[in-house]
C-alpha cells in the first residue's frame, strides 16, 4: 500500500481491507464456536472450504458496500472527504451508525443460530410482535448487560480503527497527480468494486451479470454447511426485501391430481375446474367399542426432539417415563413436524395445515383466523387448552379460541402457582392444577384437553418446588456427546420427562387414566450440538429439527405397536378422531394413520429451511426429496445411508418423480389452505382465478 500515491484511494482500500478482515475473523469464529458442522460422516473438507469461500465473497461484498457511501464522498473533484470538514463529519457519522448496526446484527446472529439453528433472517421480525415476552426471555437467557457492553465496545472499536485509518491517509499532505493516472485509478477502482460486489469472476454475462446469491452457499445440500456461507447482514437484507406472495395457484392446479389422490378426494372433485380438498370421513370400523367416548389429552412437549429420548438411542437415557409410555402404547419413531417452531406446531396441531408462512407464523396473521379444525367434530367433549405462560405469545390464543368451539383457555393469571420464569408456571405445577380440574369433571361427560408445556426452554429453569426431582450433576462436556448443548438443557429435558410421568401417576389416582387417550409429541427439537448415536442423515439433512417423539398411550384401550412408516404431526388429530369414532369433514392435510396411504409408501411434507427462500421436501421411511420452493435444486437422499448427502435420484427415477411432485404439490397446497380453510371462506371452493396475489415463477435467488 506504500506505493499508492492517492490518499483517498488509500483510505477506501484500507477501509475495505479492514472490514473484510474483520468479517473473515467473525466467520472463522462462527465456524469454530457456533456451527455444528463436523468433517466426516458425509461432510467433506472440500465442501466446507468451498462454502467458506462463498462466505468470504459475501464478506467482501459487505465490506465494499460499507465503504461505498464514503467512496461517493471521496470521489468528488473539489469538495470531498480530503478537503471538506463537514463531509468528513458526515462520513464519520455514517461509519458510527454502520459500525453499531453491523455489530448488533452479528451479535444477534450468533444468538439466533444458537437458539434456532438458523442464520438471522426476516423471520426475526415476528419476535417484535411479542416484544415483552421476547425481551423477558432474552433477559433471563442471555447476559444482556455484558452483551450490550460488548456491542458498544465493538462498535466503537471499529469506529476508532476507521478514524485512525482516516488520519493515516486523508490527513497526509496532498500530492499533484496527472489526469491520466487519476482516470486509470478511478476506472480500476470502479471495476474492482463492481466485481467485488458481484461476487464472481467466472461465467459473467455482460448483458445480465448475475451476482453471487445466497443459494450458492447451499450447493452441498446440507443446511448446516450452507449456513457457513452466509453473511448475516446481507442475508437479513435479502430476506427482508423479498416480497411475500400468498400462494401460486398455477402450481396448485398443476399438482392437484397428486394432492387429490394423497388426500383421498373423490374422483369427481379431483377433476373439477376448481380445486377442492374437503372430504367426508365417516365413523371408522377400527373405532374403539365403548359406551362412552374416551377422554382425549394432547400433551405438546417443548423443544423435545427424537434425539433427546432414550427410546431413540440417547446414551444418557434422559426420558425413562416417556420411553415407558411409548413401549405401552403406539409409538411413531419416524414422525415429523412439518416446520420447526412452537407457534407453527400449535397451528399444525389445531388446523392440520403445515405453517408454511414465509416470515411470521400463521398464528400472527389476523386475516386467516378462525380456521376449520377436526377438533370441532368432538362435539360430546368439553374442551380445554392449558399453557403455563401466556397464550398471547405469537397470538396463539386467537387461533385457539376462535377456531375450537366452546374451548376454555387457561393461561398465565389463572394458575395459583407462582411463575417459575418468563414462560409462566412450571410444567409440573401446571399438570397438578390441570389434574385437579379434570378430577372434578363429571364422569359421564368426556373431555378433550390440550396441554402445552414450556419448561424445556431457555433459561432451562429447575424450580425448587419440583417434588423429588433431582438434578444430575454432569459437565457440559459429558452432555455434549448425547446431543445437549449444556448440562442445564439435559436436566430441563429430564424434568419435563419427570413431569409427564408425574401427570400420568396423577391421572391414575384421580380416576380418569383408564378412560383417556393420551397423545404426547414434541413440538420441534431444541438446538443440538451433535448426534453421533443417530443416522448421519438427521444432522446432514437437518431432519433432526423436525423428527420428534410421538406416542398414543391408552393401555386399557389399545395394544402396543410401533409404526415405522413416516408419519406427520398433521395426522395425530384425525387418527384420534378415528379411534374415538367421530364423523367429520376434513378440509386440510391430516390423515388417519390407520387408513392405508393412497400414494404408496407413506410420505409427509416438511420445510427444512424457513424464511423467504425455503427448502421444502417430503420424507418417507427411506428417502428424503428436497428442493427450493420453486422446484429448483431438487435432490433425493437415502436416510439410512452413511453418506446421506449423496444424490440418489438417478438410481431411483420413478420414486424421485413421485416424491418430487408430492413435495411441490403439498407445499403450494398448504400455502393455499392457510386462506381457503378460513371458516367463512371454506364452504366454497377456492376459485381458480383467485383474487389473492399469485406467485410469479422465480429462480433460486
For the ranges 25-29, 236-240, 651-655, which has the lowest average pLDDT? Answer: 236-240
Whether the predicted pLDDT of 467 surpasses 50: yes
Residue 690: its pLDDT value, please? 29
Q: Which residue has the higher pLDDT, 125 or 474?
A: 474
Q: pLDDT band for position 205 (50/70/90)?
A: low
Quick one: average pLDDT of 505-530?
Answer: 90
Domain 249-676 sits in CATH at 3.40.720.10
Which is higher by pLDDT, 698 or 288? Answer: 288
pLDDT, position 210:
65
Gap between the Cα atoms of 409 and 225, Å rounded:
42
Q: Tell me which DSSP letter residue 522 carries.
A: E
Mean local confidence (pLDDT), 129-137: 73
Half-sphere exposure of 169 (CA within 13 A, CB side): 24
182 confidence band (pLDDT: 50, 70, 90): low
Q: Is 134 exposed, middle or buried (0-12, 13-18, 19+ CB in 10 A)?
A: middle
Three-state secondary structure string covering 360-420: CCHHHCHHHCCECCHHHHCCCCEEEEEECCCCCHHHHHHHHHHHCCCCEEECCCCCCCCCC
Across 71-193, the runs of DSSP E, i.e. the strands, are none
Q: Which residues contact 534 (CB under 8 A, 6 or more apart)?
A: 306, 307, 312, 313, 483, 544
Which residue did the predictor score with more confidence, 504 or 189?
A: 504
Q: All 3 cell numbers of residue 436?
A: 385437579
**420 burial via Cβ count (<10 Å: 0-12, 13-18, 19+):** buried
* pLDDT on residue 588: 97
Q: What distance lies between CA 214 and its chain's CA centroid?
A: 18
Q: Encode pLDDT of 624-659 as tens digits.
A: 999 999 999 999 999 999 999 999 999 999 999 999
Q: Which helix (H) or strand (E) holds 520?
A: strand 516-522
Structure confidence at residue 392 (pLDDT): 77
pLDDT, greater one: 339 or 212: 339
- pLDDT-derived band at 4 (thresholds 50, 70, 90) equals very low
What is the mean predicted confidence (pLDDT) over 120-124?
Answer: 78
Residue 619 parent element (H or E): strand 615-619
Please, which pLDDT band fits residue 245 given cuts at 50, 70 and 90? Answer: low
Mean model confidence pLDDT for the chain = 88
Q: Give residue 203's pLDDT band: very low, low, confident or very high (50, 70, 90).
A: low
In which band, very low, low, confident or very high, does the pLDDT at 8 lie, cut at 50, 70 and 90? confident
Mean pLDDT of 661-685: 82
Predicted local distance difference test score (pLDDT) of residue 681: 38
The span from the CA of 680 to the CA of 406, in Å, is 18
Distance of CA 223 to the CA centre of its chain: 12
pLDDT, mean of residues 1-13: 69
pTM: 0.76
Pick the residue with more confidence: 355 or 226?
A: 355
Domain residues of the chain, as ranges? 7-241, 249-676
- Tens of pLDDT, residue by residue over 556-599, are 999 999 999 999 999 999 999 999 999 999 999 999 999 999 99
Query: What pLDDT score does 268 carry?
Result: 54
pLDDT beyond 50 at 695: no
Per the CB < 8 A criterion, the answer to whether 581 and 640 are in contact is no
> Distance between CA 217 and CA 238 in Å, rounded?
14
What pLDDT, on a 0 to 100 scale, did the predictor assign at position 697?
A: 28
What's the average model confidence in pLDDT over 435-455?
A: 95
The band of 347, judged by pLDDT with boundaries at 50, 70 and 90, is very high
Cβ burial 297-310 (10 Å sphere, 16+ → b, else e): bbbbbbbbbbbbbb
Using CB atoms within 10 Å of the CB of residue 161, give its burial: 0 to 12 exposed, 13 to 18 middle, 19+ buried. Answer: middle
Of 150-154, 634-638, 680-684, the least confident: 680-684
**654-665 tens-digit pLDDT:** 999 999 999 999
Instruction: Give the per-residue pLDDT at 377.
Output: 97
- Is the pLDDT confidence value at 138 over 70? yes
529 confidence band (pLDDT: 50, 70, 90): low
Q: Specify the pLDDT at position 311.
A: 97
Mean pLDDT of 119-134: 74
Average pLDDT over residues 471-497: 94
Digit-coded pLDDT (tens) for 361-388: 888 776 788 899 999 999 999 999 999 9
What pLDDT is stored for residue 193 in this prediction? 87
- Give yes or no for residue 44 having a pLDDT over 80: no
pLDDT above 80 for 18: yes
Amino acid at each position: 500500500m506504500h506505493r499508492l500515491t492517492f490518499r483517498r484511494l488509500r483510505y477506501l482500500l484500507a477501509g475495505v481491507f479492514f472490514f473484510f478482515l474483520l468479517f473473515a475473523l467473525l466467520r472463522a469464529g462462527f465456524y469454530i464456536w457456533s456451527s455444528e458442522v463436523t468433517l466426516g460422516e458425509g461432510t467433506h473438507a472440500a465442501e466446507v472450504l468451498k462454502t467458506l469461500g462463498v462466505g468470504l465473497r459475501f464478506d467482501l461484498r459487505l465490506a465494499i458496500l460499507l465503504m461505498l457511501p464514503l467512496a461517493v464522498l471521496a470521489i468528488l473533484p473539489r469538495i470531498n472527504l480530503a478537503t471538506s470538514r463537514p463531509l468528513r463529519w458526515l462520513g464519520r457519522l455514517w461509519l458510527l451508525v454502520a459500525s453499531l448496526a453491523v455489530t448488533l446484527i452479528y451479535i444477534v446472529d450468533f444468538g439466533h443460530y444458537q437458539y434456532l439453528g438458523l442464520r438471522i433472517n426476516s423471520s426475526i421480525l415476528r419476535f417484535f410482535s411479542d416484544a415483552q415476552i421476547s425481551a423477558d426471555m432474552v433477559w433471563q437467557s442471555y447476559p444482556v448487560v455484558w452483551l450490550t457492553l460488548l456491542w458498544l465496545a465493538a462498535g466503537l472499536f471499529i469506529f476508532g480503527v476507521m478514524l485512525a485509518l482516516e488520519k493515516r491517509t486523508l490527513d497526509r499532505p496532498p500530492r499533484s497527480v496527472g489526469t491520466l493516472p487519476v482516470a486509470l485509478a478511478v476506472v480500476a477502482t470502479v471495476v474492482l468494486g463492481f466485481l467485488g460486489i458481484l461476487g464472481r469472476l467466472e461465467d459473467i454475462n455482460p448483458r445480465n451479470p448475475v451476482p453471487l446469491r445466497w443459494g450458492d452457499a447451499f450447493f452441498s445440500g446440507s443446511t448446516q454447511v450452507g449456513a457457513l456461507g452466509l453473511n448475516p447482514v446481507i442475508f437479513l437484507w435479502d430476506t427482508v426485501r423479498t416480497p411475500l406472495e400468498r400462494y401460486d395457484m398455477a402450481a396448485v392446479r398443476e399438482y392437484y391430481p397428486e394432492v387429490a389422490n394423497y388426500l383421498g378426494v373423490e374422483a369427481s372433485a379431483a377433476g373439477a375446474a376448481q380445486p377442492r380438498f374437503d372430504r367426508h370421513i365417516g365413523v371408522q370400523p377400527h373405532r374403539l367399542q365403548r359406551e362412552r367416548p374416551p377422554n382425549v389429552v394432547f400433551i405438546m412437549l417443548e423443544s423435545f426432539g427424537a434425539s433427546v429420548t432414550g427410546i431413540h438411542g440417547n446414551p444418557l437415557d434422559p426420558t425413562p417415563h416417556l420411553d415407558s409410555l411409548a413401549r405401552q402404547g403406539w409409538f411413531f419413531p419416524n414422525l415429523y413436524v412439518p416446520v420447526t417452531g412452537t407457534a407453527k406446531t400449535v397451528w399444525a396441531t389445531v388446523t392440520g395445515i403445515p405453517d408454511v408462512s414465509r416470515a411470521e407464523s400463521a398464528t400472527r396473521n389476523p386475516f386467516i383466523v378462525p380456521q376449520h379444525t377436526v377438533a370441532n367434530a368432538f362435539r360430546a367433549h368439553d374442551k380445554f387448552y392449558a399453557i403455563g405462560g401466556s397464550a398471547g405469545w405469537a397470538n396463539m390464543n386467537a387461533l385457539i379460541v376462535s377456531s375450537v368451539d366452546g374451548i376454555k383457555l387457561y393461561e398465565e393469571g389463572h394458575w395459583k402457582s407462582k411463575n417459575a420464569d418468563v414462560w409462566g408456571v412450571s410444567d409440573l405445577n401446571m399438570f397438578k392444577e390441570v389434574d385437579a380440574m379434570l378430577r372434578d369433571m363429571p364422569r359421564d361427560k368426556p373431555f378433550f384437553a390440550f396441554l402445552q408445556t414450556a419448561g424445556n426452554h431457555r433459561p432451562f429453569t429447575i424450580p425448587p418446588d419440583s417434588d423429588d426431582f433431582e438434578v444430575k450433576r454432569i459437565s457440559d462436556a459429558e452432555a455434549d456427546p448425547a446431543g445437549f448443548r449444556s448440562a442445564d438443557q439435559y436436566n430441563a429435558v429430564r424434568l419435563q420427562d419427570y413431569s409427564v410421568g408425574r401427570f400420568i401417576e396423577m391421572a391414575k389416582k384421580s380416576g380418569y387414566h383408564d378412560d383417556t387417550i393420551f397423545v404426547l409429541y414434541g413440538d420441534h427439537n431444541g438446538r443440538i450440538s451433535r448426534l453421533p448415536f443417530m443416522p448421519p442423515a438427521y444432522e446432514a439433512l437437518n431432519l433432526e429439527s423436525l423428527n420428534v417423539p410421538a406416542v398414543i398411550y391408552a393401555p386399557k384401550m389399545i395394544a402396543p405397536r410401533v409404526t415405522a412408516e413416516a408419519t406427520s404431526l398433521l395426522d395425530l388429530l384425525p387418527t384420534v378422531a378415528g379411534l374415538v369414532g367421530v364423523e367429520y369433514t376434513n378440509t386440510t392435510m391430516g390423515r388417519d394413520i390407520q387408513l392405508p396411504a393412497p400414494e404408496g409408501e407413506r410420505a409427509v411434507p416438511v420445510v427444512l429451511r424457513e424464511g423467504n427462500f425455503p427448502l421444502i421436501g417430503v420424507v418417507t421411511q427411506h428417502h428424503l426429496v428436497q428442493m427450493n420452493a420453486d422446484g429448483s435444486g431438487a435432490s433425493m437422499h437415502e436416510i439410512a445411508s452413511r453418506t446421506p448427502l449423496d444424490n440418489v435420484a438417478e438410481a431411483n427415477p420413478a420414486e424421485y418423480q413421485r416424491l418430487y411432485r408430492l413435495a411441490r404439490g403439498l407445499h403450494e397446497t398448504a400455502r393455499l389452505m392457510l386462506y381457503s380453510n378460513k371458516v367463512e371462506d371454506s364452504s366454497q371452493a377456492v376459485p381458480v382465478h383467485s383474487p389473492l396475489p399469485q406467485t410469479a415463477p422465480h429462480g433460486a435467488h
